[in-house]
């Protein structure tokens, strides 16, 4: 079973409890701007967190790419290189 944790539930879990198995970034339109969210996948849950909002889609996608690449490096990199 997979659960999506809220901000309050995330606070109760310590950083070293589990190792993430995947990371994705999502760019979504919101009130005339573009928001970047990071989605971290754990064996038993999924955590989604808003990173920032940007005025243009191009800047939001660029930021999402950099954030995902940095997070991939922290969890051991993408499987296919």
In sequence order, the 6+-apart residues with CB closer than 8 A to the CB of 44 are 1, 2, 3, 18
Domain locations along the chain: 3-75
Q: What is the mean pLDDT of residues 5-19?
A: 59
Higher pLDDT, 64 or 80: 64
- What stretch of H or E contains 8? helix 7-12
- DSSP line for 34-73: EEEEEEEE-SSEEEEEEEEEESSHHHHHHHHHHHHHHHHH
- What stretch of H or E contains 30? strand 22-30
Q: What is the pLDDT of residues 21-79, one digit of tens each?
A: 899 999 999 999 999 999 999 989 999 999 999 999 999 999 999 999 999 888 875 55
């Amino acid at each position: 079973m997979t659960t999506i944790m809220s901000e309050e539930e995330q606070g109760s879990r310590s950083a070293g409890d589990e190792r993430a198995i995947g990371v994705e970034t999502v760019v979504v339109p919101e009130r005339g701007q573009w928001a970047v969210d990071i989605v971290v996948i754990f064996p038993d849950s999924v955590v989604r967190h808003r990173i920032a909002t940007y005025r243009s889609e191009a800047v939001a996608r660029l930021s999402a790419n950099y954030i995902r690449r940095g997070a991939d490096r922290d969890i051991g990199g993408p499987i296919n290189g």
